[in-house]
Amino acid sequence: MKPFAQVIALIGAAFVLGLVANAVAARDRKLMLPGYYPSARKMPAQAPPVAATQALSAPVPVRIPASPPSTPATDTVLSGVPVSSPAPEKQKKTVAPSPKPVPKAIDLATRFPAHPDKAYVEVSGDDAALLHANGALTLDARRTSDYEAGHIAGARTLSVWESDVDDKVNKLYEERSDPREQLKPILIYCSGGDCEDSHMLAQKLWGVQFNNIYVYKDGFPDWQKRRGTVHTGSNP
């Protein structure tokens, strides 16, 4: 066989092997084709697009204790507001900080109004804690393996890099098909820093009419730094 034909054969074999491997891969290792990347060729912005404190009313501070955890695990979450989790066997809880100040119960719709004109608003750790404490749906946009290693208590996994992202988005849409439900705030986070997974997920959700999405800019590392409650395992 001539080298050119060999080149074609090698690339063709790689194509077939790649597609077959993807077809039989586990759910969290599978890629969907062609993929959804609205900013694939745009350079990442140097500055955050919109800060919540600029776009919304003045932030309500939520103090999260900085002292290291010293007591065994409790079921109480950061705010004292329970997160609906079934506490299955696989799930483990990390140590919660103690004592915990109880953040103010607020009217989310007033404090975090819908913003249909933009896909998302970036929020700080204080606002993220406030949203979480007041029962806002929290989504973890990181890979499932990262989620299982530790996530914000009550957060659901919805990785933009895994093939079932559309199924999960559709499920979420079905759960919140009522237009009023779609105006409820949703908090999304990933790994902070230059991580864009949460922004990508926010754009995806905005595309299906979720109009009140907040991206926790500093993400999970900041949450850990603030000693927010963290759960491990595959359940919220």
Partner 1 sequence: MKKYLTHPWLTIRVQLALGAIFVAAALPKITDPPSFAHMIYNYRLLPAGLINISALVMPWVELLCGLALILGVWRKAALSIIGTMLVVFIIAISINLARENAIDCGCFDVSKANLTREQRLGDMKFVILRDIGMLLMVAQVWWAASVRD
Minimum gap (Å) between residue 115 Cβ and partner 1: 25
60 binds partner 1 (CB under 8 A): no
- How far, in Å, CA of 192 to CA of 194, rounded? 6
Which uninterrupted H or E stretch holds 187? strand 186-189
45 binds partner 1 (CB under 8 A): no
Minimum gap (Å) between residue 198 Cβ and partner 1: 13
Binders of partner 1 in range 149-178 (CB under 8 A):
159, 161-162
Segment lying near partner 1 (by CB under 8 A), choices 23-31, 119-127, 181-189, 223-231: 23-31
Which residue number, 12 or 80, has a Cβ lying nearer to partner 1?
A: 12
34 binds partner 1 (CB under 8 A): yes
State phi, psi for 121 to the nearest 5 degrees.
-125, 130
Q: Where are the alpha helices (DSSP H) in 30-69?
A: 52-55
**Sequence-ordered list of residues with C-beta below 8 angstroms from that of 189, at least 6 positions apart, any chain:** 128, 138, 139, 140, 141, 152, 155, 198, 215, 216, 219, 220, 223
Using CB under 8 A, list all residues that contact partner 1: 1, 3-4, 6-7, 9-11, 13-15, 17-19, 21-22, 25, 28-38, 40-44, 143, 159, 161-162, 191, 194
